[in-house]
Every structure is written in C-alpha cells, then in structure tokens.
Amino acid sequence: MLKKRASGSAWSWLWFALGAAYFIIPLYATVDFSLRAKRGELSLLAYANVLKDPRFGETFLFSAEMSLLTIVTGIILIVPTAYWIHIRLPKLRPVMEFITLLPFVVPAVVLVFGLIRIYSHPPFMLVSSPALLVAAYLVLALPYLYRSVDTGLRSIDIRSLTEAAQSLGATWPTIIIRVILPNLRASILSGAFVTFAIVMGEFTMASLLVWPAFGPYMDLLSSSKIYEPSALAVISFALTWGTTAAIQLLSRRIPGQAPMAGLK
Amino acid sequence: MPFLIFAFAFLILPTLNIIIGSFQDATGAFTLENISQLSQPIVLSAYLTSIELSLVTAVAGGLFGFLIAYAIVLGGLPRWLQSAVITFSGVASNFAGVPLAFAFISTLGRLGLVSVLLKSVFGIDIYQAGFSLYNFLGLSLTYIYFQIPLMILIITPALEGLRSEWREAAENLGATPLVYWQRVALPILLPNLLATMVLLFGNAFGAYATAYALTGGTINLVTILIGNQITGDVLNNPGLGNSLSLGMIVIMALSIGGYTLLGQRTSRWIK
C-alpha cells in the first residue's frame, strides 16, 4: 500500500513537471527575448524603446479610460438591478442567468459584427462613438461583473439592511448608495479588477471597431519590431498577474466567488 | 429598467439581427440564399478547421489539465503546490490574445528560444523538419495554453468532491484501484469531464485575437472569416457574414447547452 502511494506520487510529480515546463518555458522565453534587443548582451533597451514610444502611453491611457468608463457604467447598471431582483423580483432570476450566459454563446467577433450592422446607419449612428466600444466591453465583462455583485449580495443580509434603512426614513436611492454599495465594496472591487483586466488586453472589439487601444497597439508593434513586442507582452502579463492577485486577495473575503474565464 | 434596455440594445438586438439577417436578402425579403452560401468550399473548410482546432485543443488540453488537476488534488503533492497551481491557472486562463501569441513566437518562432536551442544543441531544425508555429499545429499548441488552466479551474472542485468513503467502500469490497476508477470514480466524473471539454471546445471555437495575432489572419477559421467580413478584406458580402455568424451562434449554443445539461448530471453526486 505504502509503495503504491509512492509510485502514484511519482506519476503526479511527472505530470506536474510536464505541465510546469509547458507553462513556464514560454514565459521565460518571452522575458529572455525581451532582453536581447542589444546584440550580445542582456539589456532593457526594448523596454526603454516601448516606454519612449508616445503611442504606448496614448493607447495605454485610452484603454485605461475605457475600462474606467466600462466599470462605472457597469456598476450603475448592474448594482441597482441585482439588488432589485434579490429583494423584489426573484422571478426574474432565470432571465438574468440567461442574459449573463449569452456573452459566452455569442463570441466577441460575432457580437461586434452584429453591433456594426445595427449601429452603422441611422437612427443610431454609434459606430464612431466610444459609447459603442464601452457598451461592447460591458457586454464582455457582464457575466463577471454581475456574478461578483450577485455573490456579494448573497453574502449580506440585504433584507434586514433595507428594512432598517427604510424604518429610518431612507429613500431607495439613499439605500442603494449609502447602505448597499458600501457593503458590496469587496465584490464590486473584484468585479472591477476583472473588467479592468479584460478591457486592457482586449483586441477583437477595439481592432474591429478601429480604436487606438492597447490590444491593437501590441499587435501593430509586432509587424514592425522584433524585441519590443516581447517587452510589451511581459508588461501586459505583469498587469494581468497584478490584477488577478488583487482579485484573489479580495475574493478570499467573499465566499463562493467564481473564477474568471478567459478573453480569447 | 435601464439594465434590461442595455442588454436588449447591445446583446439581444445584435443577436436577433444576425439571426433574422441570415434569412434576408439585400432588400429585406425572405431568402435561404445566405444559408446556402455556407456550402462554399472556403466556408466549409473554415468551419472544418475551426471545429478540428477546437476539438483537438479541447481533448488534448482537457486530458492534460485533468492529469495535472488529479496530480495536485489526489496525487499526494504538497498542499501549497495545489493553491499555487490554482492561482497560476487563474492568471494563465486570461493570458490569451496578442501577448500569448508573442510568448509563443519567443518560444517556438523561427528565432524562438526552444527552436534555437534545439538547433544549436541537438542540431534539429524544426522549421526544416516541417514545423511551423503559424499553422494548425502551432495554433493548437498555443490554444492549449489557455485550455489547460480552464480545465484545472473547473475540474478541481469535482475531484475534491470525490469522497474518500467511496474509495474505502470499494476497496473493502475488494476493488483494485483500477476497478475503483472504472466502476466508481470515472462514472461519477465522466459527465463533468465531458461537460468541461465541451466548454473548452466553445472556448477555442470563439477565439479570434490569438489566431489573428499569431497568423496575421492567414489561417482559415470562422472567426477570422467574420473578422475579414467586417474589415472588408475579402468577399464583402453582408448576407454571408450573417449566416457565418449564425452558424457560430448555433454551435456555441449547442456547446454551452451541452455543458449545462451535462453539468447537472454530475451535481447529483458532487455539489
């Protein structure tokens, strides 16, 4: 019996090592590649070049702005709705489940195709407005943002909070802004970080709607430069790593938080 | 409610528009012309490549992911390793699109670390031997990078839900580990395993950014074809764009639906 355990463990180590190699080698190779801009020595030249390029700052800021707008719009739209469904309209729950599942059924490329079809002619000329991009990003982030607010609402006793606030004479907007929102801080923040990570790395929507965002910039750079794209990939990976670490820290405070899936 | 208006305008309306548009000609009259255009060789081969790519990466990534998940949950590896792998999987499942393409170019591209190493140390030129990162095989290797972590994230809770009582009961009845797996563990896990693989299939099927960044849009996938319809690179035909999209929605709906149905079967045993 003991022997069997040991051999089982050897197999486990083997699979783990294979997996680790598959996952670590490309990361190592990217870092290594990004340091080779100067022939014959390791240097940070590629990083310096990236940071010097004004388009890096511009596209980065653009994407950061878009993610902020997406997060704010998302919170305004989702928090009152999720709250209302919890407290008054639990019957609508399946509808919400369906809506939050839909972004997985309709791939980004297909969604952007549909959006362009509708919003590129009157009465709704939105194609050249950043509002359409924010809306598209919000659809991408919707499942994560909604789920994280939903689990947050489940973990607090909103009924008692609402009744207490009402008995003190609070109106609905006051309840949502001053009672519910502060209690949802952790889950809203975690949803916001997911949204941030999604928007910063997003390529499909931004590129097909022709916006100078960070994702398309990374792709554009790869056609003209050799080492700089790797430096960008390292920066982008660090960004994802940082936000995921933040989410992990936060979700420890919210039990039952779902893991976020990818943005392919 | 503003939220429902938003969801209707930017999610449901575009989807409906695609579905209806697939059966309309330029004047808005009913037609099956768009659907029949899907039988063009280039379109059929795009669907075939997309399905093959998704199938291969879902099965390969799924099996490999399952083995790693098994190793960290039941394989007797240290506990801290398990949480490290889970955390890493959370990050890696998001490491897709353009940066992922760069990572693989730095590894297996013509000047990539592994390609150069194989050439200088072992004298094997993989590109001479017919390998390319920019075709089906290379794309599969790259996709697996985001497929494995997703598998690990979803299947780990199921593996943790296998109760040790079941194993003990089986062993008391004289079952060898092999029989235990054949008769007890696998039947319980199978729906979940299949469900997750179906999800991985959809995950790869809808991917656009990674394929575009890696191949520059030269590989013939459905998502790339739809992207080309938008940018107007080739055969700019809105009707075809609609029916291409409809085809994707149908396949994605089947895979997400399959995932949900299969998932319900497992939840009878594992919460």
Nearest to B67 among A15, A222, A232 (CB): A15
Give exposure, B142-151, as e/b (b: 16+ Cβ within 10 Å).
Answer: bbbbbbbbbb
Please give the pLDDT value at position B260: 83
Interhelix angle B238-266/A93-105, nearest 10 degrees: 120
In a domain, A35, yes or no: no
- Lookup: tokens for A180: 């519910």
In a domain, A129, yes or no: yes
The contacts of residue A80 (CB under 8 Å, 6+ apart) are A176, B3
* pLDDT of residue A1 exceeding 60: no
CB–CB contact B93 A261 (8 Å): yes
Please give the pLDDT value at position A258: 44
Please give the pLDDT value at position A226: 83
Please give the pLDDT value at position A4: 46
Contacting residues of A for B249, CB less than 8 Å apart? 105-106, 110
Please give the pLDDT value at position B234: 54
CB–CB contact A219 B93 (8 Å): no
* pLDDT of residue B25 exceeding 60: yes
Please give the pLDDT value at position B233: 58
Q: Which amino acid is present at B167? A: R
Contacting residues of B for A34, CB less than 8 Å apart? 106
Please give the pLDDT value at position A26: 92
In a domain, A261, yes or no: no
By the CB < 8 Å criterion, does A30 face chain B?
A: yes
By the CB < 8 Å criterion, does B61 face chain A?
A: no
Please give the pLDDT value at position B96: 79
* CATH number, position A95: 1.10.3720.10
Please give the pLDDT value at position A261: 41
Taking only residues 165 to 194 of chain A, the set having a beta carbon closer than 8 angstroms to any beta carbon of chain B reads none
A257 band by pLDDT with thresholds 50, 70 and 90: very low
CB–CB contact A263 B96 (8 Å): yes
Calculate the average pLDDT of chain B.
86
Number of residues that make up chain B: 271
Q: Tell me the per-residue pLDDT of A138-197, one tens digit each, with 9 for 90 and over.
A: 999 998 899 888 888 888 888 888 888 888 988 888 888 888 888 888 888 888 888 888
Give the number of domains in chain A: 1
Q: Tell me the per-residue pLDDT of A4-49, one tens digit each, with 9 for 90 and over.
A: 455 568 888 888 999 999 999 999 999 998 998 887 788 888 899 8
CB–CB contact A233 B64 (8 Å): no
Terminal Cα-to-Cα distance of chain A (whole angstroms): 45
Q: Tell me the per-residue pLDDT of B67-101, one tens digit each, with 9 for 90 and over.
A: 999 888 888 788 888 888 888 887 787 777 888 99
Contacting residues of B for A18, CB less than 8 Å apart? 64
* pLDDT of residue B236 exceeding 80: no
Q: How many CA atoms lie within 13 A of A145 on its CB side?
A: 29
The contacts of residue B195 (CB under 8 Å, 6+ apart) are B258, B259, B261, B262, B263, B266
Residue whose pair of structure tokens reads 């809770």 in the numeric block: B157
Nearest-CA distance from A156 to chain B in Å? 22
Query: A117, A157, A262, A242: which is closest to B61 by C-alpha?
Result: A262
Nearest-CA distance from B226 to chain A in Å? 7
By the CB < 8 Å criterion, does A10 face chain B?
A: no
Q: Are A149 and A187 in contact (CB under 8 A)?
A: yes
Q: What percent of chain B has pLDDT over 90?
A: 24
A2 band by pLDDT with thresholds 50, 70 and 90: very low
In a domain, A259, yes or no: no
- Interface confidence, given as ipTM, is 0.84
- Lookup: tokens for B83: 């949480």
Number of residues that make up chain A: 264
CB–CB contact B10 A115 (8 Å): yes
* pLDDT of residue A245 exceeding 80: no
Nearest-CA distance from A170 to chain B in Å? 21
For residue A69, the enclosing domain spans 53-251
Interhelix angle B136-160/B186-205, nearest 10 degrees: 140
| Count of CB pairs separated by less than 8 Å, A with B | 263
Q: Which residue has the higher pLDDT, A117 or A71?
A: A71
* pLDDT of residue B20 exceeding 80: yes
- The domain defined by B34-266 carries CATH number 3.40.1830.10: no
Q: Tell me the per-residue pLDDT of B163-198, one tens digit each, with 9 for 90 and over.
A: 888 888 888 888 888 888 888 888 888 888 888 898
Q: From CA A120, how far away is CA A126, in angstroms rounded? A: 6
Q: What percent of chain B has pLDDT over 70?
A: 96
By the CB < 8 Å criterion, does A138 face chain B?
A: yes
Nearest to B245 among A27, A113, A207 (CB): A113
Taking only residues 234 to 253 of chain B, the set having a beta carbon closer than 8 angstroms to any beta carbon of chain A reads 238, 241-242, 245, 248-249, 252-253
What H or E segment, with its residue span, contains residue B149? Answer: helix B136-160
Please give the pLDDT value at position A253: 60
Give the 3-state secondary structure of B224-235: HHHHHHHHCCCC
Q: Which residue has the higher pLDDT, B238 or B221?
A: B221
Phi, psi angle pair for B197, to nearest 5°? -65, -35
In a domain, A111, yes or no: yes
Q: Tell me the per-residue pLDDT of A61-115, one tens digit each, with 9 for 90 and over.
A: 999 999 999 999 999 999 989 988 888 888 888 888 888 888 888 899 999 988 9
